[in-house]
Amino acid sequence: MSIRKILDFKHPALRTKAKKVARVDGSAVRLLDDLVETMYAAPGAGLAANQIGVALRAIVVKGDENQHHALINPELVKAEGSQIGYEGCLSYPGWVGEVERAEQVVVKGLNRKGKPVRIKASGFTARAFQHEIDHLDGILFTDRLTGLETLRPAEEYETELEAVKA
């Protein structure tokens, strides 16, 4: 496992649709391991393979209780409800913006052993799955902003959150 460099939003690899992984072998498992290690080191809530310059359909998403999901060839098979919230991106460091996403999703893909899995997620985890699958399709969160005026420095947003909590 190794920590990989995360490409920033200007890199053309982030606008390219990733290719399906033909089979889950040692190199695919190493890719998942590198994604996990890189995501936790960043730290982030998810990471797609093209964010580290690998044009293959592989993602990791941090779930509840510090678990993570690592998927090859993930697909969104069901999306219900709506949530609007701020999200950021490891490829767009220091910025957040308001994005509308489905509240609940079902995602299918292959696990690190090549076995089919289906994952039901809601709330923040559902948001993270949608965000990472978008990356695999060449879509950035800034493409889905509810309005350009919602894009702002993360520090400013975090300050406002702290003020509300006080």
Residue 3 lies in a domain: no
DSSP 42: T
Average pLDDT score over residue span 22-32: 96
Tokens of 99: 């994005």
- Cα–Cα distance measured from residue 13 to residue 74, given in angstroms and rounded to the nearest whole number: 18
- Cα–Cα distance measured from residue 151 to residue 51, given in angstroms and rounded to the nearest whole number: 20
Residue 159: pLDDT band (50, 70, 90) is confident
Tokens of 155: 């520090």
User: Is 80 exceeded by the pLDDT of residue 164?
Assistant: no
Residue 6 lies in a domain: no
Query: What per-residue confidence (pLDDT) applies to 66?
Result: 74
Residue 5 lies in a domain: no
Task: Give percent of the chain above pLDDT 70.
Answer: 99
Whether 146 and 63 have beta carbons less than 8 Å apart is answered as no
Tokens of 100: 């509308």
Residue 4 lies in a domain: no
What residue numbers does the annotated binding site for Fe cation cover? 89, 131, 135
The number of domains in the chain is 1
Residue 108 lies in a domain: yes
Residue 166: pLDDT band (50, 70, 90) is low
Whether 101 and 127 have beta carbons less than 8 Å apart is answered as yes
Domain interval for residue 66: 12-165
What residue numbers does the annotated binding site cover? 89, 131, 135
Q: Residue 80 catalytic?
A: no
CATH classification at residue 116? 3.90.45.10
Tens of pLDDT, residues 131-149: 999 999 999 999 999 999 9
Q: State the catalytic residue, choosing from 37, 75, 100, 132.
A: 132
Query: What per-residue confidence (pLDDT) applies to 136?
Result: 98
Residue 7 lies in a domain: no
Residue 2 lies in a domain: no
Residue 149 lies in a domain: yes
**CA-closest candidate to residue 71, choices 111, 119, 31, 44:** 111
- Cα–Cα distance measured from residue 42 to residue 19, given in angstroms and rounded to the nearest whole number: 25
